[in-house]
Every structure is written in C-alpha cells, then in structure tokens.
Amino acid sequence: MKTQYYTASSLDGFIATEDDSLEWLHALGDIGETGYAEFIAGVGALAMGATTYEWMLRNSERVIAEVGSAWPYSQPTWVFTSRTLPRVAGADLRFVRGDVRAVFPEMRAAAGGKNVWVVGGGDLAGQFHDAGLLDEIIVQIGSVTLGRGKPLFPRRLTSPPLRLVAVRQIGPGLAELRYEVPVGGAEADADKA
C-alpha cells in the first residue's frame, strides 16, 4: 500500500490557473493513452482539498458527460475543508479538517491494502509529505506554461532528492514522470530550513 500524489501539471509547475481552470489540460492528451486506468484500479481511498472538490461540483455536467455520473470514484473520499460543503449524491464522502495524521489510519484501513491517492491540491500533498506519509509523486507534465496558478507542490524537497523511477511520453502533449519519495526527506529538509 502506497500514498501517491498523482496529478497533471504545466511545465512551469502549476496544476490549475489562479481561477482554478483546467481548460489548458483537457486539450493536451487522451486519458485513454495515460496510465490512469491501471493507476485507479490500484486505489482504495482518495484525499482532496476543498478547491479540488469544488471544481468537481462546478463541473458536474462535464464529469457526467465523461463518465456517466456526477462523481467518478467508487472509492471512499476524504475531503479536507474547514467549511460545510454540499454533498454529491451517491458519492462516498467524508469531510474532515486538521492534521492529516489524525485521518490517515482511517483512510489506510478503508483502502483495504490498496493505495491512497492524494488528488490535490499541492499543499495537501505537501501536508502528507510533512507528516512522512507520501510515498510517490506521479506527475503528467503538460506541454504548456501558465505563468502563475495553483502550485504543484509548494515545499522545498532537495536532500535527499526524489528518486525518478519511470518516464513515459504520452504523445506531444504530456510526459509522465514517476518519483519515489525518499524515506526521511521531510525531516531532512525541515532541519535545514
């Protein structure tokens, strides 16, 4: 069982524009050509921040057109928020707040031996890393730059560096990079900060 941050990013390190648009991403590649189907088959639980969840709420018509329902995941999903947000009917959602370490044992148990997917955003993935709970970063780098926007991973992670374990080109629009997070990386960088 691994905790994986799986996402797509612009070449300059943003996962959404400042106003949370993903229009730039949808033109870059066919999800059928990515490793998504294999990836999601290994996922037993999801974690996402409030802005990512609200994107799903705002774009429900697009999601329905793509997957046939307003919520694309059968796995239980933990939504981190300090607010009361509307529920998507039929989705297995748990709204939580605060330290990811307090929630993680429940997520791991629910995942039943499968992986935990940190969907985003970048800071939530960073919170899992800060807690020593992040094992892998799988990022599809799109062939675009955004200049500014929501950051991929707003943390300093230098020593030891990530370990690049796979690289795959997906047409002209995407390059998928798979990294392992070294054990003890969060503590080492915190010591130097």
Ligand X SMILES: NC(=O)c1ccc[n+]([C@@H]2O[C@H](COP(=O)([O-])OP(=O)(O)OC[C@H]3O[C@@H](n4cnc5c(N)ncnc54)[C@H](OP(=O)(O)O)[C@@H]3O)[C@@H](O)[C@H]2O)c1
Using CB under 6 A, list all residues that contact ligand X: 7-8, 15-16, 20, 22, 25, 48-52, 55, 80-83, 97-98, 119-124, 127, 150
Residue 179, both tokens: 């990294």
Residues of 18-35 as b/e, b for ≥16 C-beta within 10 angstroms? Answer: eebeeebbeebbeeeebb
User: 154 has which bridge partners?
Assistant: none
Calculate the CA 191 to chain-centre distance.
Answer: 26
Q: Name the minimum Å distance from CB 18 to ligand X.
A: 9
Q: Name the minimum Å distance from CB 42 to ligand X.
A: 18
Cβ closest to ligand X, residue 19 vs residue 191: 19
Sign, CA dihedral 31-35-37-42, equals negative
Q: Name the minimum Å distance from CB 158 to ligand X.
A: 22
Q: Name the minimum Å distance from CB 159 to ligand X.
A: 25
Cβ closest to ligand X, residue 55 vs residue 71: 55
The structure tokens 């989705």 sit at 91
Cβ closest to ligand X, residue 80 vs residue 185: 80
Residue 129: Cβ within 10 Å count? 23
Task: Give residue number: closest CB to ligand X.
Answer: 49
Tell me 31's DSSP state. G
Cβ closest to ligand X, residue 44 vs residue 120: 120
